[in-house]
């Protein structure tokens, strides 16, 4: 069944090898002051930084830079960007990088003119956005988060030991995003596969909900199958343009609202990983991969028909002579095998977690879930299984 929904996504996408050619045309639509936000040296190594600077200069922009954005962007980095926006009267924030760079840019956008602590107001109390924002645009260099086509922003408050995500109104979406799969070639393997599992997790958390006869489920299954096939090709040949293109578009489709339409959704895996990330600073997709398998083993029996469908339609499990229980478990195991195939760590101890921090992590997470609402004690047990 498809329930009533409203869908709007205002982000313009330029996709392909020549996508950057449209940057100058888009820049002409904004004022002269641009805040350029990026990570460390990678965009300079691949020559992208120079191309972006040339486009900014040719369109007469005054550029202020904020570099060094971490893979888990912090509150302090966001607030430094907000200060730069105010002091330089910024007209456009241009994010060049992966999801973390785009996330913090959206955070800067909503925080610059917030009259109180924006983290408390927007990421903790989830209040309605009611202050001036600055337009954001992006040039994507790593596939995974879909931040290039949504209004989400995940920020880590280091002092509070909290990693929180907030989805704002569509006004916060990037106005335009440039996606050239070739920019992902230089991403280290662990970051590539981390991004892949972030996509898989986005899809799973929208898929595993109560609505079974739903067009959106068929879309999700198709994207999952494309993601798995293309990832295997990219692992063999990281310069396979077709594979990288498919991964990049799977990532964007995975969380631009299309795959969540008319779905109740279950984001508890992300909630658990966010706090794992706050304590360990691990790559987001790696944390998700570690948490996902024990979590789904814990809850699958409460939504067994959907897990059976997942096993059959996504992983091609042979159902002959098997019970629903066996089919569902085999589907989860197939995903676990895929994680190992990609070379992603499978234990929390592998990413710097200690046994002592597990209980603190578990009881810093909001209780919730989809087929089954998990308690903090259950989350603690899941984390011990992950350890």
Q: pTM of the predicted model, to two decimals?
A: 0.95
Alpha helices for 187-214 (secondary structure H): 189-207
Please tell me the CATH code under which domain 12-183 is placed.
Answer: 3.40.50.1970
pLDDT digits (tens, 9 = 90+) for 35-46: 999 998 899 999
Q: Which band of pLDDT confidence, cut at 50, 70 and 90, is reported for residue 193?
A: very high
- pLDDT of amino acid 210: 76
Which ranges of 47-120 does DSSP label H, i.e. alpha helix?
Answer: 48-58, 75-87, 99-111, 118
Sorting pLDDT into bands at 50, 70 and 90, what band is 217? very high
Average pLDDT of span 337-365: 96
The pLDDT, as a whole number, for residue 60 is: 98
Dump pLDDT digits (tens) for 122-169.
Answer: 999 999 999 999 999 999 999 999 999 999 999 999 999 999 999 999
Instruction: Answer yes or no: is pLDDT of 211 > 90.
Output: no
Express each pLDDT in 302-330 by its tens digit. Answer: 999 999 999 999 999 999 999 999 999 99
Asked whether residue 3 carries a pLDDT value surpassing 80, the answer given is no
Tell me the pairing of strands 62-66 and 33-38: parallel
pLDDT at 213: 76
Q: What is the pLDDT of residue 82?
A: 98
pLDDT band (50, 70, 90) for residue 4: confident
Cα 26 to Cα 13: distance, rounded to the nearest angstrom: 11
CB distance 91 to 33 below 8 Å: yes
Residue-range domain boundaries for the chain: 12-183, 189-386
**For domain 189-386, which architecture applies?**
Up-down Bundle (1.20)
Provide the mean pLDDT of the chain: 96
Distances in Å between the Cα of 308 and the Cα atoms of 9, 243, 332 are 32, 28, 10
Taking only the tens place, the pLDDT of each residue in 57-81 is 999 999 999 999 999 999 999 999 9
Q: Give first-to-last CA distance, the chain, whole Å.
A: 39
pLDDT level of residue 94 (50, 70, 90 thresholds): very high
Q: Position of tokens 């308690």? A: 375
Q: How does strand 33-38 pair with strand 92-97? A: parallel
Of the pLDDT bands very low, low, confident and very high (cuts 50, 70, 90), residue 180 is: very high
What pairing do the DSSP bridges indicate for beta strands 12-15 and 33-38? unpaired
Q: Which residue has the higher pLDDT, 343 or 3?
A: 343
Task: Kindly state the percentage of the chain with pLDDT values over 90.
Answer: 95
Give the separation between CA 373 and CA 382, rounded to whole angstroms: 13
Which pLDDT belongs to residue 1? Answer: 65
């Amino acid at each position: 069944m498809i329930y009533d929904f409203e869908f709007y996504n205002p982000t313009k996408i330029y996709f392909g090898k020549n996508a950057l050619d449209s940057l100058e045309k888009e820049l002409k639509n904004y004022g002269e002051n641009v805040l350029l936000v990026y990570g460390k040296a990678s965009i300079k190594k691949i020559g992208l930084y120079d191309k972006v600077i040339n486009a900014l200069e040719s369109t007469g922009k005054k550029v202020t830079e904020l570099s060094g954005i971490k893979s888990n962007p912090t509150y302090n980095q966001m607030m430094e960007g907000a200060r730069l926006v105010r002091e330089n009267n910024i007209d456009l924030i241009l994010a060049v990088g992966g999801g973390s760079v785009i996330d913090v840019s959206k955070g800067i956008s909503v925080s610059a003119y917030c009259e109180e602590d924006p983290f408390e107001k927007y990421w903790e109390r989830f209040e309605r956005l009611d202050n001036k924002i600055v337009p954001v645009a992006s040039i994507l260099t790593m596939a995974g988060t879909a931040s290039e086509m949504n209004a989400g922003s995940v920020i880590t408050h280091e002092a509070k030991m909290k990693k929180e995500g907030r989805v704002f109104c569509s006004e916060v979406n990037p106005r335009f995003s440039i996606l050239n799969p070739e920019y992902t070639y230089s991403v280290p393997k662990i970051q590539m596969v981390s991004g892949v599992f972030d996509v898989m997790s986005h899809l799973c958390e929208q898929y595993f909900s109560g609505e079974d006869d739903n067009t959106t489920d068929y879309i999700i299954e198709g994207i999952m199958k494309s993601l798995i096939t293309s990832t295997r090709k990219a692992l063999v040949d990281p310069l396979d343009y077709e594979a990288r293109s498919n991964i990049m578009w799977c990532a964007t489709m995975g969380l631009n609202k299309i795959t969540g339409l008319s779905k109740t959704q279950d984001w508890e895996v992300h909630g658990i990983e966010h706090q794992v990330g706050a304590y360990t600073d691990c790559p987001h997709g790696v944390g998700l991969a570690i948490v996902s398998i024990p979590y789904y083993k814990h809850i699958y029996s409460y939504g067994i028909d959907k897990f059976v469908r997942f096993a059959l339609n996504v992983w091609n499990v042979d159902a002959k002579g098997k019970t629903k229980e066996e089919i569902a478990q085999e589907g989860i195991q197939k995903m676990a095998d895929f994680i190992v195939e990609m070379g992603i760590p499978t234990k929390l101890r592998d990413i710097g977690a200690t046994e002592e921090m597990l209980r603190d992590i578990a009881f810093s997470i909001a209780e919730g879930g989809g087929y089954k609402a998990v308690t903090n004690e259950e989350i603690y047990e899941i984390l011990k299984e992950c350890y």
